Structure 1
Amino acid sequence: MAGIAVIGANGTIGSAVVAEAAARGHEVLAVVRDPDRYRGDAAAVERGDVLDPVNVARVAAGRDVLVSAVGGGDGPGHLALIEPAARALVEGLRALGGEAPRLIAVGGAGGLETAPGRRVWDTPGLPEAVLQIMHAHGAALDYYRTVADIRWTVLSPAAEIGPGPRTGHYRTGLEQLLVDSAGRSHISVPDYAVALVDEIEQPEHIGERFTCCAL
């Protein structure tokens, strides 16, 4: 059983990660902006600020893994958090020295390769708001790749992620966008959470980004 803190535990992906981890018997701390509104599956809940390294260090202390489910899907205010949050997370974990937990961050699909020299964000016709989220996640990943003293992992979803069943089955890859047997790049939120918690339990991607897709 691992001690896991999930920042952004009230969000769509964060709540799914909490539910999956709790169902497997892990001890989960939900870190949210308003604990009074939390109704999830975590064993404990605390107020948190992902942009405050001191707060990051406090909620991460004594944990085995810190999950950051900070994304840009909730509007411009959240979009502006993505890359600065990556820096604050690393700074907070550095303050814990050798006792710092592993960091797993929810990433984006925009930087995945669709062909040599082309990425998802090069697809014609993408809305500007979507492009901004993609590039913000790309900037966060670029920053993580400069970090050598923290055990980090970024998990990028398939091109489409949304509601759906928990099948417990998925494919993984590294830098290329994955597609299923019908040529569609998608994964349900519950199966994304399965992939993330599997990575917690069986680490295979420390210091790198990987991606997951439905079969």
Structure 2
Amino acid sequence: MSTITLYGATGTIGSRVLDEALRRGHSVTAVVRTPAKLTVQHPALTVVTGDVTEPTSVADHSKGADVVVSAVGGGDGPGHQALIKQSFESLVAGLRTLGSDAPRLITVGGAGSLRTRDGKQVWDAAGLPESVLQIMHAHGDGLDYLRTVDDVRWTNLSPAATIAPGERTGAYRQGGDDLVIGADGESRISTEDYAVALLDEIEGPQHIGERFTVAY
């Protein structure tokens, strides 16, 4: 079993990652700004106060872990999309200080930069709200940054075009930089099965130093 340091555990995706990790018997340290907001209790869960934008805090809470997972997103209102790249930079800086003992880093990504069948990208679709576009491009900027990093073992997991709470089936299909589309012409996945895919990557690494995506 792995020891996981998790950022964003109170969010829509992060909470499912936490549930899936505990379900599989992993030990999790959830690093949150406000511990009172995380009401989950489990013998394998430790909740600590920390700041994903502070490299020293990252290093302190990541020491001894096998993997650090960042489920920090930009959906908390205007201005928060800048947190995505900032958090990636801080995570990498903090892990670098741990040298050869640094854990892996897995980040929750976005679908906006995935290629569509017409050769464009998801964020090129007409009619997307400006607030959504800002978050999409912020995730794209974060991924661009990670692709410059070669001294920290990172993985970025992009969801399908549509991700929402739903059923945990345990089934999904993988792709690289291309949007995965189902037989119905839709690209979608539940947050529960996204978490399944992320934990599968923790348990059986296949995508060190690259982005991949999952959908039904």
Give the aligned partner of residue 115 of structure 2. Answer: 113
Give the aligned partner of residue 132 of structure 1. Answer: 134
**Aligned to 2:107, what secondary structure does the other structure show?**
strand
How far does the alpha carbon of each residue in 1:123-177 deviate from its partner, in whole angstroms, 9 at most, with x for none?
1111100000000000000000000000000000000000110000000000100
Aligned letter for 1:15?
S
Q: 1:116, 1:184 → 2: CA distance?
A: 15
Deviates more, 1:75-84 or 1:183-192: 75-84
5+ residue gaps, structure 2, are none
Give the aligned partner of residue 156 of structure 1. Answer: 158
Q: Is 1:32 the equivalent of 2:32?
A: yes
Give the aligned partner of residue 47 of structure 2. Answer: 45
Give the aligned partner of residue 2 of structure 1. Answer: 2
Q: 1:24, 1:59 → 2: CA distance?
A: 22
1:170 aligned to which of 165, 169, 172: 172
Q: Is the 8 A contact 1:152 1:206 kept in 2?
A: yes
Deviation at 1:115, TM superposition (A): 3.2
Q: 1:151, 1:41 → 2: CA distance?
A: 30
Deviation at 1:41, TM superposition (A): 4.9
1:199 aligned to which of 198, 201, 215: 201
Q: Is 1:21 the equivalent of 2:21?
A: yes
**Aligned to 2:106, what secondary structure does the other structure show?**
strand
Percentage of identical aligned residues: 60
1:61 aligned to which of 55, 63, 71: 63
Q: Is the 8 A contact 1:18 1:41 kept in 2?
A: no
How far does the alpha carbon of each residue in 1:72-113 deviate from its partner, in whole angstroms, 9 at most, with x for none?
122124312001111101000001111100000000000000
Q: 1:37, 1:203 → 2: CA distance?
A: 31
How far does the alpha carbon of each residue in 1:29-87 deviate from its partner, in whole angstroms, 9 at most, with x for none?
11111112211255100111111000010111100000000111221243120011111
Give the aligned partner of residue 185 of structure 1. Answer: 187
* Distance 1:189-1:75 versus aligned 2 partners, 3 A rule: same
Q: 2:51, 2:119 → 1: CA distance?
A: 37
Q: Is the 8 A contact 1:174 1:211 kept in 2?
A: yes
Q: 1:57, 1:201 → 2: CA distance?
A: 22
Aligned letter for 1:159?
A
What stretches of structure 1 move > 4 A for 4+ residues in a row? none
C-alpha RMSD over aligned residues: 1.0
Q: TM-score, normalised on structure 2?
A: 0.97
Give the aligned partner of residue 98 of structure 1. Answer: 100
Q: 2:182, 2:14 → 1: CA distance?
A: 24
5+ residue gaps, structure 1, are none
Aligned letter for 2:184?
A
Q: 1:63, 1:201 → 2: CA distance?
A: 14
Q: 2:118, 2:59 → 1: CA distance?
A: 40
